[in-house]
Structure 1
């Protein structure tokens, strides 16, 4: 039991309405990450849920980007947090991946919400604060998500305890999942303090016993980033609720069966 919730309880089942497969950074390895082009790829491969990273511009606009810097995935350079949204919105976020995506832009969180609404996609919003902006990012991303998503409640997650705590305070009704690399020995204390509904971990550190312990504690389990079909099938058999993958072209519900 965690927070008084039994995983077999009908109310809990009703609360957890997320698909089993999630497209990592929108389109995995098939489109430039954290762009609307990734949403298109997600839909093309029959995925019903996207995962993406949200952070803040210098003028506190929530937008999609994984890294703290712009160099790897955009035509810009330097710290993302030092650029206004007007500057960020002018960058090319697609050419680095393939010339076919030249001109793709960084989406705002509002853009992502609109695309989820249009295509009936669920969302896992990873709150990805730049250094020193944990609480502010958690607060503003959660507040924006609460107002932007209408049809399907997004699942918030973060590696940052402070960001997720701020999100909980700003939007307590939005479900939360704590992100770990290797799951620490005191994971139960952490998820309980944050009133999480799920635990998200690197699949390489998950075992059948640990998955069983997390599920017995009343939590759902998300495994990332699973790009091998055999491993995905094994995790599913262990009871992992959600598999986040880059290989939308390989891993499907049929493959898991």
Structure 2
């Protein structure tokens, strides 16, 4: 029953999430900048050098690369692996062998095409089938009706480390944090159940900017305590709804039990969000694990548990997503070490950003794990946010949205220093538009699905359903 409720909550919140052109599309056209490392218009008579057919039949015909795969999969690989790049192509469906026709761009693909690899593929039956990953994991993005009859469509994937985002005609349709691009891997064009022609293939190096907007008009969407407007906060249910909503990061709060097990819990006590009472630091892991963390929110969530940090990270690692981890309370460096040890044990250092209101917590984290990016939460702005950020070695400065309104120019100041800016906790299109105008890089929201919808509609036209959630702290 809970699975059905999660599906219903997700569908309700995401109606139309990816059905409108991306904000700024008219002005965006094609992102600029970077060194072009592959440019191919197939003007020659044969397959370009170092392009390798590993599945299906491929040939150059009429200035286009034509790939065919009847009931199977056609793959042609090329290029060297890059950590940060943009891969673009134009594609056109020439013939479909059946209702299962698809095509797409592959990244982190071994030259032989064998083994694990990731591709964002577009199904072409026009019946609402989803865009999906090459490993079969579906995304909640309907394909435009009639894509097979529209002539050329523009495909693009933006890759920065483990984060890869696919675009169809400049509209974001798919994202993963599970890309594993390595120097030995390359790129691919892929087709299935169809004959598809490609042209104007281009690969461009881009700067690594994991926490700044760089060349995209979109802000990073962060699900506050999971999708806490639709599921009980800081639970696996809220994380699942946040992931299905399209949020790039899940934001959660971490505290230690009496026996030093990191749990997700915002308050110092368990009273508000469970059926128990008492300070979380005075309760054992066994006691916390037995609490009901869902019945307070809705009857359908009865039996939801308080997750450990390890459980949360294991889910993100295997099913996708990154974590904005707030150290809510730490009595000393050993408490922070306990949390970081879990991040390392779960092999998630590349997908965790640590934040806190307390600069000392961040200093301890920096000492223990210099590889982890840091963010400073602020209810009011510092006199000199740049100086504070540089002193702490921050990747992100995270002010309260209302506080930022008094001095929006600090966004430009921080950007010039190479520091990203995410605001919290913002739940209405009016305020999303305002902070977008300031140039913020990310928004933390209780309503991630609606924020994703706004993120993918023309500026000023996004909307939410229902009344805004009450203002909360991270």
Per the normalisation by structure 1, the TM-score is 0.88
Alignment of 1:34-53 (within 5 A): 34-53=234-253
Aligned equivalents of 1:17, 1:196: Cα separation in 2: 11
User: For the Cα contact (< 8 Å) 1:53–1:127, is it kept in 2?
Assistant: yes
Aligned to 1:3: none
Aligned to 1:191: 389
User: For the Cα contact (< 8 Å) 1:48–1:120, is it kept in 2?
Assistant: no
Alignment of 1:56-205 (within 5 A): 56-129=256-329, 133-150=331-348, 152-205=350-403
- Whether 2:420 is the aligned partner of 1:220: answer yes
Aligned to 2:437: 237
Structure with greater proportional helix content:
1
User: For the Cα contact (< 8 Å) 2:242–2:449, is it kept in 1?
Assistant: no
User: Deviation string for 1:12-71 (max 9, x for gaps)?
Assistant: 942516871010001121110000001111123222321111111111111100000110
Aligned equivalents of 1:193, 1:147: Cα separation in 2: 29
Q: Which moved more, 1:42-51 or 1:74-83?
A: 42-51
Q: Which moved more, 1:218-227 or 1:246-255?
A: 246-255
**Deviation >6 Å, runs of 4+:** 8-12
Q: Which moved more, 1:202-211 or 1:170-179?
A: 202-211
User: For the Cα contact (< 8 Å) 2:336–2:361, is it kept in 1?
Assistant: yes
What's the offset of the Cα at 1:162? 1.7
Aligned to 1:4: none
Aligned equivalents of 1:68, 1:220: Cα separation in 2: 29
Residues 255 and 81 (structure 1), Cα distance of their counterparts in 2 relative to 1, 3 Å cut: farther
Per the normalisation by structure 2, the TM-score is 0.49
- Whether 2:212 is the aligned partner of 1:14: answer no
Question: Which structure 2 segments of 5+ residues have no match?
Answer: 1-32, 35-83, 85-159, 161-205, 213-218, 460-474
User: For the Cα contact (< 8 Å) 1:141–1:167, is it kept in 2?
Assistant: no
Aligned equivalents of 2:259, 2:209: Cα separation in 1: 35
Q: In angstroms, what is the RMSD of aligned CA positions?
A: 2.3
User: For the Cα contact (< 8 Å) 1:229–1:255, is it kept in 2?
Assistant: no
What's the offset of the Cα at 1:176? 0.4
Query: Could you say which structure has the greater relative contact order, defined with CA pairs below 8 angstroms and 6 or more residues apart?
Result: 1
Residues 194 and 140 (structure 1), Cα distance of their counterparts in 2 relative to 1, 3 Å cut: farther
What's the offset of the Cα at 1:256? 6.8
**Local SS of the residue matching 1:22:** strand
User: For the Cα contact (< 8 Å) 1:52–1:125, is it kept in 2?
Assistant: yes
Residues 81 and 148 (structure 1), Cα distance of their counterparts in 2 relative to 1, 3 Å cut: same
Aligned equivalents of 1:15, 1:70: Cα separation in 2: 38
Aligned equivalents of 1:119, 1:151: Cα separation in 2: 16
Question: Which structure 1 segments of 5+ residues have no match?
Answer: 1-7
Aligned equivalents of 1:256, 1:170: Cα separation in 2: 43
For the pair shown, the structure with the greater C-alpha radius of gyration is 2
Structure with greater proportional strand content:
2
Aligned equivalents of 1:250, 1:179: Cα separation in 2: 23
